[in-house]
Structures are given as structure tokens and as C-alpha cells.
Homo-oligomer: A and B are copies of this chain.
Amino acid sequence: MIPNWLLQRSLLTPERIALSFEEEQWTFKEANDKAHILAKKLTANGVKPRSRVAIYAPSHPDIIWMMYACMHLQCEMVLLNLRLTDKELAYQIDDAAVDFILVEDLLVGKLPVNKVPSLTFNEIYTSHEEGFILANEWDDDQTMTIMYTSGTTGYPKGVRQTVGNHVSSATSSVYNMGLVEDDCWLCTMPLFHISGFSMLAKSLLHGVEIKLYPKFSVKEIVNELLAGTVTRMSVVSVTLERIISELEARNAKVSPKFLTMLAGGGPVPIDYLKRAEQLGLNVSQTYGMTETSSQTATLSSTDALRKLGSAGKALFFNQIRIDGAEKAFDQGEILIRGPHVTPGYIGRFSDKSSQENGWLHSGDIGYLDDEGYLYVVDRRSDLIISGGENIYPAEIENVLVSHDAVREAGVCGVENEKWGQVPNAFVVLKERVNVDELLAFCRGHLANYKVPHQIYIVSELPRNGSNKLLRRKLKELLNKE
């Protein structure tokens, strides 16, 4: 059992700042009070304790209060990615079998046609209230969040993250990075991602402030870094580079009060690391996934240049091993174990186990060096990471082959200066069609970041003896074209 985070935090440090947004600030007591009232309003609208509720809203205090209200109701929150298309949203809402959709008013029109009752934030705010039984403590095993992650089959899987998963992640984070008196996370990460949501968990558990930005705004962020008004931040390579460039343009060093720049979504190029060092910016590279409720390994900034390309070492409460490896540097699938690992999936994958003998099979290939540092060699199932978003080739391929003119499709990631990687597609046609039409078709079915940057028409796709698509060979095709 774990004390209800909101009640406990509001009891322990009621007057400490929980959230800043633009010119406004809220204490933990205010945050808890807001959440409590909203939970009563949700109750008045039929939301029951432990209901499963989808949330569809941009980064703004309102989505945080709604999430906190759902926590009080012990709801399972399905966090919908704002970039999803109509069809992707419909799939997730259907697969999760949610009881309600909480939606920001301006986004109502973007919801797909469906049979689930939806409540707009305005409807909730202006509702009357009804009492409910407030839980003083929560089960470790209680599912708190569900986040969809694209699977190797092309069908996104709803990953359950429990109260215990989030607590373990937040604790491992502190054991790794420390916790100081005026800690403050600058949040520009989407709150529907584990990278963003994990900051809310940290805020409530550690009692630290979040400065929320609705989106990545490099000038404002750099102002904070220079002023030392924040201490930690999460980025991906593409946003890190923009911050570094802005600092260089201003010819300024970050405040020594700023402690950690946590960089996820693949290794950071050496050039960025060297420039960051010049600027006094401590970059800690991390490795994690939705299934591990955020970080599972972290490379401290002091090791950044000595262990280039490494994702660091396991956090304290978890273990990492390489499947089949007998010695250092042997490559194999990265296996992860610990209290931060999801117990499993919901919906159509609910009977698919996430673990084997307690070990999560990440699908990623890597090795451990002789000092125990993890190196990720190849992303799981040809995963493409573009600006921090995960893209599975199979999902795009499924869309392409659903077009009448396409017989076969293969997708791979291609290096891109701005986004790290972008997807490119190769198609074998059944009948004539032009590329622009295929791109438009993709845009109708896929979130923008998943739409291939290039589609090549080819006569055949590289396959192995058993006719399995060899996605890694697609890049070689590119060079031949």
C-alpha cells in the first residue's frame, strides 16, 4: 500500500509550489483541492472510482488537474497522443474500452465518431459536485496510466503502468540523480508520454515544482537555464541541439543551479556532448521505454565523453542483462527486470505477457561493456525514433498495403539532421499510382510524424529465404536507387 500521493504531498508540504505555468503558480494544497473538487464533478457526471478514462488534451494545467482528479478516483487513465489521426484514436479508444473520454473543449471536433460518452473540460468545470469515497492509500498493483506504444505487429499496444511502477521509477531517479532543496523540473515533454507523465509522478512524490510549457520554446527555455530558475529538464537530441545552439548564439553558460539535462530517445551525437560541456550543461543520456515507466539506465554527464554512445548503467532497483551473453561485449537482446516494469498490456494484447521469468524482453539489441555500461546497438524491431517519438515500420507498412494500388511495402528509418531519424517507404505496386497520392493516403491514416518523408517505388523488396522482409536491407536499396 502506498499513501494517496495527492493527500500525502498536500499534508506534508502544503505550501510548496507544485506547478508554474506562465504567470500563475499553485501549491500542493491548491493542486490537491482542485483535484478533489474535480473528482466530485466527475462523479456527478457518472465517472466511478476505478473507471477507465481516456484523456485527450494539450499540455496545460487543466490536463494536470484532470489527471490528479482521476488519481483521486483511482481511474485508469488512457493518455491519448495529440498527434494521432482519427483512425488511430478510434483504434485506441476501442481497444481500451474506456468508460469516458475527457476532452479539452477545442479538441472535441478531432475526436473520432464513437459510442463512448465524452465530457469536455468546460462541462466538467461547470458541473455540480457529488461525493465519492476518497482512498487514503493505493495498491501498488493498481493501474494508474495506460499509454499506447506501437508494436512490432503494427498494432499499438496499451501498456499498463501501475502505482508501484511509477513510484519505483521516481525513486530510482532520485537514487541516481539526487534531490535538492529547490529542485524544479522544466517540462516541455508531452504529458501523455511517459517522459512527461513521469515528471508529474516525481513532482507529487518528491514534492518538487514543475514549470510547464505548452510547447518547446527555445528562447524561454534558455532564459530559465541561464537564470537558474529550473534544475532539471528532459530532452531528445533534436531539442537538445536547439538549446545548445541558442546558448552558443547568446555566448552564455548555463547557471550552476541547473543540474541535469536528461536526454532520451537514442544516443546523443558526440558533437552535441562536446558543445554541451563547453556550455556547462550536464547531459545525462538515458535508455527507457513506455514498458519501463521511463528511465531504466542512465549515463551520468561525467561519463558522457568517456563512454560515448552508451546509455549508462542500470538504475539501482533494476537489473539489465543481455540475452545469451556469456561475457562483456557479447551482443543480444536487452532484458530488463525490476519493479518499474509494466505488468502487461490491455485490450487485444491483454493476454500477451510482457515478461519471461520476470525479465522484460525489450526487443532492442545491445551489449554491456567490461564496466557494465549498456550500449544499444539496434532498436527493437527496426524501431524508428523521430524527434523522440517511436515509429514502428510495420504500422506504416500496414497503412500502405491497405491502399488498392500497393502490393507490398517496406519502411525503414533514415538519418535526419533535425529529427534524428525519419521514416522512408518502399512499395511494390499492383497498379499505377503516383507517390503524392500515396503520401496523401498516409496523411489520412497516420500521425504526421509517421508519414514517410520519401516513398520509393521498387520492383521487389529485399527478403530472406523464408520471405521475411529484411528492413535493414532497405537502406542499401536507397543507396542503389
Residues of A whose CB lies within 8 Å of any CB of B are: 1-3, 8-9, 11-12, 14, 136-137, 171, 174-175, 178-181, 183, 205-207, 313-314, 316-319, 337, 358, 371-372
Contact = CB atoms under 8 A, between A and B. Distances in A.
Contacts of A207: 175
Contacts of A317: 2-3
The 7 A-B pairs of least Cβ separation, nearest first, read A178-B179, A11-B372, A179-B179, A171-B171, A12-B313, A178-B180, A174-B174
Contacts of A372: 11-12
Contacts of A181: 178
B206 A175 contact: yes
Given A1-B358, A358-B1, A316 B174 contact: no
A25 to B, nearest CB: 20
A9 B175 CA distance: 11
Contact of A174 (B179, B313, B337): B179
29 contacts: A1-B337, A3-B316, A3-B317, A3-B318, A3-B319, A8-B319, A9-B316, A11-B314, A11-B372, A12-B313, A12-B316, A12-B372, A14-B371, A136-B319, A137-B319, A174-B174, A174-B175, A174-B179, A175-B179, A175-B205, A175-B206, A175-B207, A178-B178, A178-B180, A178-B181, A178-B183, A179-B179, A180-B180, A205-B316
A179 B173 CA distance: 11
A237 B2 CA distance: 33
A3 B178 CA distance: 19
Nearest to A182: B178
Nearest to A140: B339
Contacts of A2: 317
A14 B370 CA distance: 13
A166 to B, nearest CB: 13
A21 B1 CA distance: 39
Contacts of A179: 174-175, 178-179
A14 to B, nearest CB: 8
Nearest to A172: B171
A318 B207 CA distance: 15
Nearest to A177: B179
A433 B183 CA distance: 66
Contacts of A137: 319
A316 B206 CA distance: 9
Contacts of A9: 316
A322 to B, nearest CB: 14
A207 B176 CA distance: 9
A136 B319 CA distance: 10
A218 to B, nearest CB: 28
